[in-house]
Amino acid sequence: MKLFGWFLLMVMGLGLAACQPQAPGSSGVTVTARPNPTVVIFPTPTKEEDIEYETDTPEPTATPEPTATSAKTPTPGKTATPDRTATPVATSAPTPAASPQPPPGDVPDILARSAEASARMPERGIHIQTLDAQGNVTFNTILEYEPPDRVRCWQGVSDQWQDTITIGGKSWVRGYVDGKDTGWVTADGLEDPAADAMLDSFRNPTDTGADSAVLEEAMKALGLTNPRWEYRFIGPDLMEKRPTWLYEQVCYEGDRPAITIRTWVGQEDLLTYRSETRMNLPNASELMAYFSNMRVTYWYEVELEPPIH
């Protein structure tokens, strides 16, 4: 519930603000592919040639009659007798690597721990994609934070977007409208409430536990008066080649599944790497209905520099 509560606060804040991510489809993180190790193949040794050895043996000369002394017969080497009393040593097959096991605890506890671990990461990036009923992306928001005071906010679609970078008290803005790229311009004194709100939320994560009044207000904004949550562990899954555990939360209003959230948690670090939300909210506000289908991707390495000097 903590993860979902924080998510609701973020969505509502974004819907009321005017800040947006970097170029669509880009996450803001440069991934450097690790080169494959070089395999050195040694040449196969050639078969040794047979060599004929020649000896110059002189013609035999007459020798006196041999005496009665017989030639010494070489003694054969002693053959080792196997020890029939020795106990044979059993050779066991190599033990296969143990399959990774999901973290202990129930699903709400695991998701809360994942949300808390993610919130403690000093650098964070979030890519929010709003989807239509068919799963097509209709809007993008990318937010990046590098402590202590660097924030990037990109919003839009491929043919219309705005990009804002704030470092300390200085801001730069770039936009693309009607087929024209404005390029980066300095925007001293720019008031960006969304960037300010996100900076504050990164620095001071809000408690959004199940009993939180903030979460109750969020549920009301969604038109849910008597929500009931159910949780399940789906199993291991690969998220962009990263091994993760996949969990599902379903919020019911009566017998109707109102909200379904799937969350991908890293097997190695318990960080949240993706969540997908589907909502069926006939009584939700127009704003929340717009955000009813979303995909959110997270990363934890960010480097922000002034775009111009």
Peptide bond into 66 cis (omega under 30): no
- Output DSSP code: residue 233: E
> Between 273 and 96, where is the model more confident?
273
In a 10 Å sphere around its CB, with 0-12 CB exposed, 13-18 middle and 19+ buried, how is residue 100 labelled? Answer: exposed
> Between 35 and 182, where is the model more confident?
182
Q: Is the per-residue pLDDT at 209 higher than 70?
A: no
Q: Is the per-residue pLDDT at 186 higher than 80?
A: yes
Q: What is the pLDDT of residue 175?
A: 96
> Between 248 and 209, where is the model more confident?
248
Q: What's the pLDDT tens digit per position in 136-155?
A: 999 999 999 999 889 999 99
Of the given ranges (85-99, 145-159, 173-187, 219-233), which has the lowest mean pLDDT? 85-99
Q: Distance between CA atoms of 114 and 52, rounded to whole angstroms?
A: 76
Q: Which residue has the tokens 């004929």?
A: 52
Q: What is the pLDDT of residue 237?
A: 97
Q: What is the pLDDT of residue 286?
A: 74
Structure tokens at 48: 């040794």
Angle between helices 2-16 and 193-203 (to 10 degrees): 160
Domains of the chain: 2-23+102-299 (2.50.20.20)
Q: What percent of the chain has pLDDT over 70?
A: 61
Decide: 229 and 1 in contact? Cβ < 8 Å.
yes
How many helical (H) and strand (E) elements, i.e. helices and strands, does the chain have?
A: 5, 12
Q: What is the mean pLDDT of residues 69-89?
A: 49
pTM of the model: 0.67
CA-based torsion, 104, 108, 110, 116: positive or negative: negative
- Arithmetic mean of pLDDT over the chain: 74
Name the 3-class secondary structure at 7: helix
Q: What is the pLDDT of residue 121?
A: 93
Q: Is the per-residue pLDDT at 112 higher than 90?
A: yes
Q: What's the pLDDT tens digit per position in 119-142?
A: 899 999 999 999 988 889 999 999
Q: What is the pLDDT of residue 233?
A: 97
Q: Is the per-residue pLDDT at 65 higher than 50?
A: yes
Q: What percent of the chain has pLDDT over 90?
A: 44
Element (H, E) at 177: strand 170-177
Q: What is the pLDDT of residue 220?
A: 79
Q: What's the pLDDT tens digit per position in 19-56?
A: 333 333 333 332 333 233 323 222 333 333 333 333 34
Q: What is the mean pLDDT of residues 78-88?
A: 50
Q: What is the pLDDT of residue 206?
A: 58
Q: Distance between CA atoms of 138 and 116, rounded to whole angstroms?
A: 30
CA angle 146, 148, 154 (to 5 degrees): 40
